[in-house]
Structures are given as C-alpha cells and as structure tokens.
Amino acid sequence: MTDEHHHAPPTSPVEDRVAALESLLVEKGILDTAALDAVVDHYEHAVGPLNGARVVARAWIDPAYRARLLADATPAIAELGFSGPEGDHMVVVENTPEVHNAVVCTLCSCYPWPVLGLPPTWYKSPPYRARMVREPRVLLAELGCEVPPDCEIRVWDSSAEVRYLVLPLRPAGTGDLSEEELAALVTRDAMIGVARL
Ligand code: FE
C-alpha cells in the first residue's frame, strides 16, 4: 500500500449506483431515508459484534451448544435470537492449537451481519481481499496477529451463499469467568480471524 491516499477515497461505481438508486426510490416515495438510516444504525450500533461474542461465549461454556454450532450454525445462532439478512447460511469454523481460521470475501464484502454488524472498511478493501488469499500469514502478522509457525492457517471465502464466523480459542486462565465475562473478552477481529485472544 502507498502513502498517497490519505484523503477520502473517491466513490466506487457501485457506491454511485447505490446512491442514485436510493435517491430515485426516495423521490418516488418508495423508500424513506429515515427508515433506511434506522436500518444502518441498527446494524452499526445495536447489533455490532456483540451478538457474535455471545455466541462464542456460549460455545465455550456449553459443549452441547458448541457441537450444534459447528454442525449447523444458522439454527444454533438463531437459538440465541440472532438471525436475519446476510446471516441465512452461517458456518462457524473453530480455531484449535493446530489450525487458525480467517475470513475474507474475495469478491466484495460479504459478512455475517446478524452476529458481527456491518463490515469494517478494511474488510472491504482490495488489498485485504487479495492478500488474505495470497499471503495470509504475512498479512496477519502485519495486522498484529502472529500465528505460530506450526499452526496451519485456513482462509474462508464468504459469499452471498455462506457467511463464516471464527470460533476463537478460549483464552487460558478463564475457567472461573461467567458467560457474560467471557463474552466481554471476544473481539470482532478475533471472530473474523485477524486477531487472536
Ligand atoms: Fe461479498
């Protein structure tokens, strides 16, 4: 990446198209901007990565839930009340001492909204999308996520069909923590797989 672009990047053709479509729908009275803002606000602030953290904490303390989550994530996540658009076909991939999982959308920005909210800007950036496939270990190290050399890295490509969520390793020394305290330890980046707890 170069240092040339510290100003806001120009809008992409897709963004332009979305903006044009939105203004047209508003003009025709089909769409209400306030309603649209409310949807975005909901996913940015009410959902956020908090829901995913609750799923992870439950999986850490409840082996039967963890088994259901890994076998068929969508209904297991819905058990906690989380479902909806961009989360219809969820797959949870579990980190182990031998395997570290990381998630990308190579095509665009597919992301599990019901558990993580809206994707961060870097997740949508072309360098992240390309390098997570080409050189994940190097990219992860640059992001401050050191994966031990003997730990395999598996990269999962989210799409319109399937959205992935990483189940991070439960940190050592957390045996006495409550489910709520455990959830507070779980970060968005750990559930994307660009951080380790
Ligand atoms: Fe995508």
Asked if residue 1 is part of any domain, the answer here is no
DSSP 139-184: HHHHTT----TTSEEEEEE--SS-EEEEEPPPPTT-TT--HHHHHH
Asked if residue 135 is part of any domain, the answer here is yes
Q: How confident is the model at residue 8 (pLDDT cuts 50, 70, 90)?
A: low
Asked if residue 6 is part of any domain, the answer here is no
- Taking each helix axis from N to C terminus, what angle separates 13-27 and 33-41, rounded to the nearest 10 degrees? 130
Pair 105, 123 in one domain: yes
Pair 113, 30 in one domain: no
Asked if residue 5 is part of any domain, the answer here is no
Active-site entry in 12, 23, 108, 178: 108
Asked if residue 109 is part of any domain, the answer here is yes
Q: Let me know: does 167 contact 59? Beta carbons within 8 Å.
A: yes
145 assigned to active site: no
151 assigned to active site: no
CA distance 79 to 65: 10
CA distance 54 to 83: 13
Asked if residue 7 is part of any domain, the answer here is no
pLDDT tens track for 96-138: 999 999 999 999 999 999 999 989 899 999 999 999 999 999 9
Percent of the chain surpassing pLDDT 70: 93
CA distance 196 to 145: 6
Neighbours of 174 (CB within 10 A): 14
Give 173 Cα–ligand 1 centroid separation in angstroms.
37
Active-site entry in 83, 109, 125, 159: 109
Pair 87, 111 in one domain: yes
pLDDT surpassing 80 at residue 175: yes
Pair 120, 153 in one domain: yes
Asked if residue 130 is part of any domain, the answer here is yes
Q: How many domains does the chain have?
A: 2
CA distance 8 to 11: 9
| pTM recorded for the entire structure | 0.81
Domain hosting 20: range is 13-44
Q: What CATH number corresponds to the domain at position 137?
A: 3.90.330.10
Give 42 Cα–ligand 1 centroid separation in angstroms.
20
Pair 109, 146 in one domain: yes
23 assigned to active site: no
For residue 2, which phi and psi values (nearest 5 degrees)? -100, 170
DSSP 5: -
What tokens appear for 61 in the block? 């303390």
> Between residues 34 and 77, which one has the greater pLDDT?
77
DSSP 88-156: SSEEEEE--SSEEEEEE-SSS----HHHH-SPPHHHHSHHHHHHHHH-HHHHHHHTT----TTSEEEEE
pLDDT tens track for 38-60: 777 777 766 778 899 999 999 99
Pair 167, 103 in one domain: yes
